[in-house]
Structure 1
Amino acid sequence: MSREIKEEVQLNTAQMLIKCLEAEGVEYIFGIPGEENLEVMNAIADSSIKFITTRHEQGAAFMADVYGRLTGNAGVCLATLGPGATNLVTGVADADSDGAPVVAITGQVGTERMHITSHQFLDLCKMFEPITKRSKQIVRPDTVNEIVRLAFKYAESEKPGACHIDLPVNIAKMPVSIGEKPLEKKIPPKEHADLSTIEDAASEIFKAKNPVILAGSGAVRGNTSKAVTEFATKLKIPVINTMMAKGIIPFDNKYSMWTIGIPQKDYVNKIIEEADLVITVGYDIVEYAPSKWNPKGQTEIVHIDARPSHINKLYQPVVEVVGDISDALYNIMRRTSSKAEPVKALEIKAKMLAEHESYAEDNGFPMKPQRILNDVRKVMGREDIVISDVGAHKMWIARHYNCYEPNTCIISNGFATMGIAIPGAIAAKLINPDKKVLAIAGDGGFMMNDQELETALRIGTPIVVLVFNDNNYGLIKWKQEEQYGKSCYVNFTNPDFVKFAESMHAKGYRVEKAEDLIPTLEEAFKQNVPVVIDCQVDYEENLKLTNHLKEIYGNI
């Protein structure tokens, strides 16, 4: 009797690396090939993973960043050594600050020349160390499975962030011992809060006369929208969200007080200022510092999150409820009673609503940012996705673009990085091909990664990019005018954005009057190629808003 013996194929380190990525469920790698990662590129070509060739490594990092933020699974970006790796830094730092799981992989010189001055050599592990949760170099072929599992474990665990793997070119080619295989991905069970903290939190809420919920990005990552909405609605507690938690409660819910976070004191600041208890839910101090809403450190705080509170002298909770957020909210809700209607907060919301609606028919041109975002909201469906770049428009989006669902308005507000919108929108469209995906960028941010429009065209992700055109770095101009009464060094000229789009085989439209924006957006979303819409914006509204809020704040 004979039996067939199947010989195991011996893999090299690069091949094992890609096998490990497949085991982690990686769908895409965003990046640019380079000489020191040729072995890795060959392994990717023989795998189930799709490699998305970008036009700049920063674009690759931002794509991985937004992929991670929207899916909860680590986005992967790849670059070669030296300048390729340094180009990843901004996007990796953004992911780490904003709590998006990302694994960055870099090529590296061979270990035989790391001890001497070498062409394009940098100590990449040291470089990535301050902007990642873990930064490891593979120096032995038989450790690749452990290092990959380590990177994904820490990237995806709360608070998510970036991890880095560095692979020297000679190690990539070395054989891995037969029998080595990827380590199994294990999802840890949810941890539940201690009952005593649940009861203490319920007691504090019961005693409070004017409580307010401040919901942050951790609430979105924890998929707590349903629990937060039920908690607020049953207990009649107003909910304020940070920029990164838009949609955690539908904006048309009675108790949704919309977004806090612009530099000026706005209507919602008055609501939190008058609270006798702030219930933070998934709140991260990197989003909106405690000094902005608790400057004297006198506000009582109940902290509800998957992690213990940050150390900050202005953020000293009387109770910390640490564990699964939804479970904690439901348990607290069962142990306390509903409050009286928050009359003052509801009155303030009515004023906010009236102010926002007053711009709906404003036909001025250049268009007011309030009218632009009012029109955008009419075109976008409940689950469609806006990716905001960073600039003056981000402040207006925070204030005037309200959401029904979480993760339908992506704002970089931890690291607050210009240039994220176009690559971020490409990742969003890859994940959600059936949803409208709109990138909104200022003309400054647009020009920082506009080359990725070619990537969008090539891989078939027909995103729409709406450019707020004012020939300035508008947010810096706004801050200069607020502080010094004048501006300097912020103005520039722009290309013809319509012709620019057409030169990249995309489509370009120019809004000539306010009434054109909605039909232009509707037409843009019918296209099967990327679209750029050039819209002149009236940023005289920036200082008008500053002065308006100063005038009304004391009387809210």
Structure 2
Amino acid sequence: MSLDTETQPLDWYKVGHVDDLPEGRVKTVTARTTTLCLSHFQGQWAAMDNRCPHQGGPLGEGSIEQGVEGQCWIRCPWHGWDFDPLTGAPPGGHEDTGQQLYPVEIRDDEVWVGLEAEPPHERTTTDVMAETFEAWGVRRVFGMVGHSNLGLADAIRRRTAEGAMSYVAIRHEGAASFAASAYGKLTGVPAGCLSIAGPGATNMLTGLWDAKVDRAPVLALTGQVQTQVFGPGAFQDIDLASAFDAVTRFSQIVLPSSNHAELASLACKNAIVERDVGHLIFPDDVQTISSDKPAGGPQGRVGPATIRAGADDLDAAADMIARADRPFIVMGWGAKDVAADVIALAEAMGAPVATTFKGKGLIPDTHPNAAGVLGRSGTPIASWFMNECDLILTLGSSFANHTGIEPSKPIIQVDFERMQLGKFHPVALPVWGEIGHFAREMAGRVTRHGPDQIAELRERWAIWRDEKTSRLSDESPRGLSAATLFHTLTELCPEDAIIAVDVGNNTYSFGRYFEAKGQSVLMSGYLGSIGFGFPAAMGAWAATQDFEHLRGRKVLSISGDGGFGQYAMEFTTAVRHGMNITHVLMNNGQLGKISKEQRAGEFEVWQTDLVNPSFAAFARLCGGHGHKVTTNDDLRPALEEALALDGPSLVEVMTDPELV
């Protein structure tokens, strides 16, 4: 079918040079957003619709072949359908029943194709939904564009073109969900993670589980096969509703008859209010249905979240604190937004404050009331004060076994989620209420009495710092010690930095040796997923671009060689997007934590060795900065250089797995 070029004005697009396509060949070209099959046959040029009418096969990837009667045809590479190279007509058909043709002109040996003027964009269901995401505060999407999410991706593209959203093109969908999880943990605002159907969607599950168990809001957006082929086993057709059921708070298939704005609103609302995963499944054919419906939004849909503790609970807590001589505060991640109120309460009580590992950094280790991290990744300071205390006041802690809060002690537990109260065992006083409100109420009622625990804190810190200093002299031909690395990083790391840590010995050493001065720390808390660190840093960097109060903060990530290897190619993502991330990689040539656990269990150390490239050289090959550190003398200048750079950098520190 030809185009009437005499009556319709055309926009012309250069699609190549005559030397690009030899006689008797076809190729795929793009003019504007239209994909065409360009053919060069018998000295003539033709451009036709690239999609085979059978199943959309790309004619430009086919070939011109001679039929049994001598006629030459463009043969579709998928299923062998044939078309005339110059008219687009099928065998036995007529010119106006075949592929649509587009005018071609040769100008100074350049090939130009004419298209009708682009019509105005026709609003679609996914435009409605993308606008609704925007209204609910979604500013960032991490993902991979593919064949079953193209309509949705185009709607997101339009929001990014308007400046309403930003997009990060990742290399693996697992990195997208980890990045979105870290973004939600840091900001309390959901980011989107985008995938195709089938394996793209299932790749996101680990990061979504990380978000779910750590209570981070995330919006998962998965493409799906067309509705007409649900069920019988089409290519990449899996039951996504069932696959995502356990990991999501809200999960729905978007159908042609759906209230599209309402589905988008409910996905966002569940993510934000429940601090969980909202999930939408987008069949391919639904994504481009025309729609004139308005977008949704949060107006009138979300109320204030303040829950005030009851007067009787406040009185009982004040009485227990007044009777305690050695009260001890444990601050968890649930208190992250009201840490200043908790610190003010500790100052009024004269009480030490330890944090859970997830809460590391909520009180600076330089603060007079700070006792460091409690538990397996913690300091002997925190353990000493818990052992000596006669009352534990725990605020926003989940009582994970890694933290090891002693259940035999009298415990006041405050949390804004009732199911967290006494979750694993009874406590003396469970208080349902917002932690900041409780801390402010108590600060006005308590007085400091009993022994001077602040003076004891100074003494205990001096003992622990002397111990850490003694470990700085540990040397090994295999590499540096963790104590040396984190001593140096403590001195050099900006006080307002955001630090994403991975899983393994590197994480335990970070918790033990690094002294936080105000940095924000992100980790895979309850899931404990290896590979979290670097994708989480990408999510944190995106948050520094999207939120004014985070702008300008340096982002670091820390991992072992095992963890970084999980998503190493995302370093190219950081280069592509100009992410200002400094990654510190502890390379000991093994899965050190697993080796340690095998020894502790009296097993043979087996299958934990790793074969690694030079990660510093890898970073440079990716287009970033890379520096390999093998001596103590080289450590400080290498870290200083990397931290000063505005872009992705990697410092590979060769470490001894025994010096943790």
Normalised TM-score (structure 1): 0.89
Contact 1:509-1:520 within 8 A present in 2 as well: yes
1:498-513 alignment, distance < 5 Å: 498-513=616-631
| Further displaced range: 480-489 or 204-213 | 480-489
Aligned counterpart, 1:191: 307
CA distance in 2 between counterparts of 1:356 and 1:150 reads 51
Aligned counterpart, 2:9: none
CA distance in 2 between counterparts of 1:183 and 1:351 reads 55
* 1:209 partner letter: D
| Further displaced range: 371-380 or 183-192 | 183-192
What's the offset of the Cα at 1:180? 3.5
Check if 1:401 corresponds to 2:401: no
Q: Deviations over 1:9-40 (max 9, x none)?
A: 97321111111111112221100011111111
Check if 1:451 corresponds to 2:545: no
CA distance in 2 between counterparts of 1:455 and 1:59 reads 10
Q: Deviations over 1:329-388 (max 9, x none)?
A: 111222232232226665444322322333456666611101100101111111012211
User: Which secondary structure state, in structure 2, belongs to the residue aligned with residue 86 of structure 1?
Assistant: helix
**Would the alpha carbon gap of residues 128 and 487 (structure 1) be closer, same or farther in structure 2, given more than 3 Å must change?**
same
CA distance in 2 between counterparts of 1:139 and 1:208 reads 60
Aligned counterpart, 1:251: 365
CA distance in 1 between counterparts of 2:257 and 2:356 reads 44
Aligned counterpart, 2:349: 235
Which of 188, 195, 202 aligns to 1:72? It is 188
Aligned counterpart, 1:430: 542
User: Which secondary structure state, in structure 1, belongs to the residue aligned with residue 509 of structure 2?
Assistant: helix
Q: How many residues of Structure 1 are paired with residues of Structure 2 in the alignment?
A: 526
What's the offset of the Cα at 1:188? 2.1
| Further displaced range: 41-50 or 236-245 | 41-50
* 2:289 partner letter: M
What's the offset of the Cα at 1:507? 1.8
Which of 371, 376, 395 aligns to 2:489? It is 376
Aligned counterpart, 1:126: 242
Which of 145, 161, 164 aligns to 2:276? It is 161
| Further displaced range: 312-321 or 498-507 | 312-321
User: Which secondary structure state, in structure 2, belongs to the residue aligned with residue 17 of structure 1?
Assistant: helix
1:214-363 alignment, distance < 5 Å: 214-220=330-336, 223-262=337-376, 266-285=380-399, 287-288=400-401, 292-294=404-406, 297-310=407-420, 314-340=424-450, 341-342=452-453, 347-360=459-472
What's the offset of the Cα at 1:461? 0.6
User: What is the root-mean-square deviation of aligned Cα atoms in Å?
Assistant: 2.3
CA distance in 2 between counterparts of 1:197 and 1:11 reads 54
Aligned counterpart, 2:533: 421
User: Which secondary structure state, in structure 2, belongs to the residue aligned with residue 487 of structure 1?
Assistant: coil
User: Which secondary structure state, in structure 1, belongs to the residue aligned with residue 149 of structure 2?
Assistant: helix
* 1:167 partner letter: F
Q: Which has the higher contact order (CA 8 A, sep 6+)?
A: 1
CA distance in 1 between counterparts of 2:615 and 2:216 reads 31
Aligned counterpart, 1:553: none
Question: Which is richer in strand?
Answer: 2
* 1:525 partner letter: L
Contact 1:95-1:101 within 8 A present in 2 as well: yes
User: Which secondary structure state, in structure 2, belongs to the residue aligned with residue 447 of structure 1?
Assistant: helix
1:55-70 alignment, distance < 5 Å: 55-70=171-186
5+ residue gaps in structure 2?
1-119, 545-550
Contact 1:387-1:439 within 8 A present in 2 as well: yes
Aligned counterpart, 2:611: 493
CA distance in 2 between counterparts of 1:315 and 1:405 reads 33
CA distance in 1 between counterparts of 2:542 and 2:298 reads 26
CA radius of gyration, larger in: 2
Which of 50, 55, 80 aligns to 2:166? It is 50
Contact 2:413-2:421 within 8 A present in 1 as well: no
1:63-102 alignment, distance < 5 Å: 63-102=179-218
User: Which secondary structure state, in structure 1, belongs to the residue aligned with residue 325 of structure 2?
Assistant: coil
CA distance in 2 between counterparts of 1:84 and 1:43 reads 19
Contact 1:269-1:293 within 8 A present in 2 as well: no
* 1:165 partner letter: L
Which of 132, 136, 141 aligns to 1:24? It is 136
CA distance in 2 between counterparts of 1:89 and 1:313 reads 26
* 2:538 partner letter: I
Aligned counterpart, 2:49: none
| Further displaced range: 90-99 or 310-319 | 310-319
Normalised TM-score (structure 2): 0.76
Q: Deviations over 1:209-261 (max 9, x none)?
A: 322111111011xx112111111111011111011111222211122110123
Aligned counterpart, 2:226: 110
Check if 1:12 corresponds to 2:127: no
Q: Deviations over 1:80-134 (max 9, x none)?
A: 1100001101111111112221111101122222232222112212211212222
What's the offset of the Cα at 1:59? 1.0
User: Which secondary structure state, in structure 2, belongs to the residue aligned with residue 330 of structure 1?
Assistant: helix
**Would the alpha carbon gap of residues 485 and 273 (structure 1) be closer, same or farther in structure 2, given more than 3 Å must change?**
farther
What's the offset of the Cα at 1:288? 4.0
* 1:386 partner letter: I
